[in-house]
Structure 1
Amino acid sequence: MPRVMGVPQDYAQAAKWYRLAAEQGNAEAQYYLGRMVGKGQGVPQDYAEAAKLYRLAADQGHAHAQHNLGVMYATGQGVPQDYVLAHMWFNLAAASHRNSI
């Protein structure tokens, strides 16, 4: 198992801590937990749950979550395929990113 900053990498432990922060409304934690759930890193892979987590972060203006949610709507992964919603989330992500610079 690789080491990150002197400690062993442990996806399950990371998911546990991200979940605790996500449940308190932390958008960054919701985004990273969504990535982990979407990839099945340390938790069972669940695209629908990943989309829910991305949506929580996206609703708070998290640009990467908005982008990933757009991808999910464009591909129909974890949500019904919907190009209009995909377009909306891509536009919001672009606007959020511009506003954060």
Structure 2
Amino acid sequence: MAKNEAVISAGKGVTFVNIIEVTPENQAKVIEVLNEGVEKVIRHKDGFISASILASKDGTSVINIAQWESPENVKAVREDPAAQEYAKRTAAIAKAVPNLYSVVSVHA
């Protein structure tokens, strides 16, 4: 496995999922804010494994999925002022519904 590759197995780590409801005209803006936040802040934090950003075809939602080594890593990022700025920017143009999940199965 390459240095920057990671695999999370069922029962290990946690997955942060943020379902963001947005108007079609703001979907690209939300994606831009999320991508910037991941590149400038999130990916450099302890415990970060990966992040994926999904855009609905109808333009009404964006899903941000981030995998972390532990719930404590997620808590630390959510309390980080730099990360909070990106959350505020997203909240200004969309409605976010974040939650923390455990991977219970992976199918490939």
| TM-score in same-fold range (> 0.5) | no
TM-score normalised by the chain length of structure 2: 0.30
| Larger relative contact order, structure 1 or 2 (CA cutoff 8 Å, min sep 6) | 2
Please identify which structure carries the higher helix content.
1
TM-score normalised by the chain length of structure 1: 0.31
